[in-house]
A = this chain, B = another copy of it.
Amino acid sequence: MTEQRTERRPTRQRAAIADALVGTAEFRSAQEIHAALAGRGERVGLATVYRNLQAMAGDGEVDVIRTADGEAVYRSCATDDHHHHVVCRSCGLAVEVTGDAVERWAEAVAAEHGFTAVRHTVEIDGLCADCAARR
Protein backbone atom coordinates (compact mmCIF):
# COMPACT_ATOMS: atom_id res chain seq x y z
CA MET A 1 0.00 0.00 0.00
CA THR A 2 3.00 2.24 0.56
CA GLU A 3 4.13 4.00 -2.56
CA GLN A 4 7.35 3.14 -4.31
CA ARG A 5 9.64 6.04 -4.91
CA THR A 6 9.83 6.16 -8.68
CA GLU A 7 13.12 6.89 -10.32
CA ARG A 8 13.00 10.47 -11.50
CA ARG A 9 15.48 12.89 -12.89
CA PRO A 10 16.27 15.99 -10.86
CA THR A 11 15.54 19.22 -12.68
CA ARG A 12 15.50 22.88 -11.85
CA GLN A 13 11.72 22.96 -12.16
CA ARG A 14 11.17 20.01 -9.88
CA ALA A 15 13.39 21.56 -7.26
CA ALA A 16 11.61 24.89 -7.51
CA ILE A 17 8.24 23.27 -7.03
CA ALA A 18 9.40 21.21 -4.09
CA ASP A 19 10.91 24.37 -2.69
CA ALA A 20 7.67 26.29 -2.97
CA LEU A 21 5.98 23.59 -0.93
CA VAL A 22 8.57 23.22 1.80
CA GLY A 23 8.28 25.64 4.63
CA THR A 24 4.65 26.37 3.91
CA ALA A 25 2.08 25.24 6.41
CA GLU A 26 -0.74 25.88 3.97
CA PHE A 27 -2.28 23.68 1.35
CA ARG A 28 -1.81 25.31 -2.03
CA SER A 29 -3.26 24.63 -5.44
CA ALA A 30 -1.21 23.88 -8.52
CA GLN A 31 -2.20 27.23 -9.94
CA GLU A 32 -1.13 29.08 -6.81
CA ILE A 33 2.20 27.34 -6.83
CA HIS A 34 2.64 28.16 -10.50
CA ALA A 35 1.83 31.80 -9.83
CA ALA A 36 4.14 31.92 -6.83
CA LEU A 37 7.02 30.55 -8.86
CA ALA A 38 6.34 32.97 -11.68
CA GLY A 39 6.24 35.87 -9.26
CA ARG A 40 9.55 34.74 -7.84
CA GLY A 41 11.06 34.80 -11.28
CA GLU A 42 11.13 31.03 -11.71
CA ARG A 43 9.80 30.27 -15.14
CA VAL A 44 7.99 26.93 -14.94
CA GLY A 45 5.22 25.68 -17.20
CA LEU A 46 1.84 25.03 -15.69
CA ALA A 47 1.73 21.51 -17.08
CA THR A 48 5.05 20.83 -15.42
CA VAL A 49 3.72 21.97 -12.08
CA TYR A 50 0.77 19.62 -12.42
CA ARG A 51 2.93 16.74 -13.55
CA ASN A 52 5.41 17.09 -10.73
CA LEU A 53 2.79 17.60 -8.10
CA GLN A 54 1.11 14.43 -9.26
CA ALA A 55 4.35 12.51 -9.23
CA MET A 56 5.23 13.75 -5.76
CA ALA A 57 1.78 12.88 -4.51
CA GLY A 58 2.14 9.41 -5.97
CA ASP A 59 5.41 8.96 -4.17
CA GLY A 60 3.89 10.19 -0.96
CA GLU A 61 6.17 13.21 -0.82
CA VAL A 62 3.22 15.55 -0.59
CA ASP A 63 -0.33 15.31 0.65
CA VAL A 64 -3.26 16.10 -1.60
CA ILE A 65 -6.75 16.91 -0.52
CA ARG A 66 -9.72 18.41 -2.35
CA THR A 67 -11.22 21.74 -1.40
CA ALA A 68 -14.98 21.92 -1.07
CA ASP A 69 -15.26 22.94 -4.71
CA GLY A 70 -13.20 20.07 -5.98
CA GLU A 71 -9.89 21.77 -6.52
CA ALA A 72 -6.79 19.76 -5.61
CA VAL A 73 -4.47 21.36 -3.07
CA TYR A 74 -1.03 20.17 -2.04
CA ARG A 75 1.22 20.36 0.98
CA SER A 76 4.52 18.75 1.84
CA CYS A 77 4.06 16.38 4.74
CA ALA A 78 6.42 16.45 7.67
CA THR A 79 6.08 12.73 8.13
CA ASP A 80 5.76 9.76 5.84
CA ASP A 81 3.46 8.09 8.33
CA HIS A 82 -0.27 8.04 7.98
CA HIS A 83 -1.88 11.18 9.37
CA HIS A 84 -4.72 13.64 8.91
CA HIS A 85 -5.07 17.41 8.95
CA VAL A 86 -6.82 20.18 10.75
CA VAL A 87 -7.15 22.95 8.20
CA CYS A 88 -8.12 26.58 8.74
CA ARG A 89 -11.01 27.56 6.48
CA SER A 90 -9.90 31.14 6.51
CA CYS A 91 -6.14 31.12 5.95
CA GLY A 92 -5.48 27.54 4.91
CA LEU A 93 -3.10 26.81 7.76
CA ALA A 94 -2.86 23.10 8.35
CA VAL A 95 -1.48 21.05 11.20
CA GLU A 96 -0.89 17.34 11.00
CA VAL A 97 -2.52 15.05 13.50
CA THR A 98 -2.75 11.34 14.09
CA GLY A 99 -5.39 9.36 15.83
CA ASP A 100 -5.36 5.63 16.29
CA ALA A 101 -8.89 5.88 17.60
CA VAL A 102 -10.22 6.99 14.22
CA GLU A 103 -8.22 4.46 12.31
CA ARG A 104 -9.60 1.68 14.43
CA TRP A 105 -13.12 3.05 14.30
CA ALA A 106 -13.04 3.26 10.50
CA GLU A 107 -11.72 -0.23 10.18
CA ALA A 108 -14.26 -1.65 12.59
CA VAL A 109 -17.25 0.13 11.14
CA ALA A 110 -16.32 -0.92 7.63
CA ALA A 111 -15.79 -4.53 8.63
CA GLU A 112 -19.12 -4.49 10.39
CA HIS A 113 -20.76 -3.82 7.05
CA GLY A 114 -18.75 -6.38 5.17
CA PHE A 115 -16.30 -4.02 3.53
CA THR A 116 -12.70 -4.97 2.90
CA ALA A 117 -9.63 -3.23 1.49
CA VAL A 118 -10.68 -0.26 3.55
CA ARG A 119 -9.23 3.22 3.26
CA HIS A 120 -10.50 6.47 4.66
CA THR A 121 -10.49 10.19 4.33
CA VAL A 122 -10.60 12.30 7.43
CA GLU A 123 -10.10 16.02 7.32
CA ILE A 124 -11.02 18.49 10.01
CA ASP A 125 -11.53 22.15 9.27
CA GLY A 126 -12.23 25.14 11.43
CA LEU A 127 -10.84 28.54 12.27
CA CYS A 128 -7.33 28.69 13.64
CA ALA A 129 -6.68 30.77 16.75
CA ASP A 130 -5.24 33.67 14.76
CA CYS A 131 -8.10 33.90 12.31
CA ALA A 132 -10.67 33.57 15.08
CA ALA A 133 -9.04 36.42 17.00
CA ARG A 134 -8.96 38.56 13.90
CA ARG A 135 -12.76 38.94 13.86
Interface residues of A (CB under 8 A from B): 66, 70-72, 86, 88-89, 95, 97, 99, 101-102, 105-106, 109-110, 113-129, 132
Q: Whole-angstrom distance between the alpha carbons of A84 and B109 in the complex?
A: 11
A115 near B127 with CB under 8 A, answer yes
Given contacts A66-B66, A70-B66, A71-B70, contact A109 B86 (CB under 8 A): yes
- Enumerate chain B residues within 8 angstroms of A123, measured Cβ to Cβ: 120-121
Q: Whole-angstrom distance between the alpha carbons of A121 and B72 in the complex?
A: 16
- Enumerate chain B residues within 8 angstroms of A122, measured Cβ to Cβ: 102, 106, 120-122
A67 to chain B, nearest CB (A): 9
Given contacts A70-B71, A72-B70, contact A97 B109 (CB under 8 A): yes
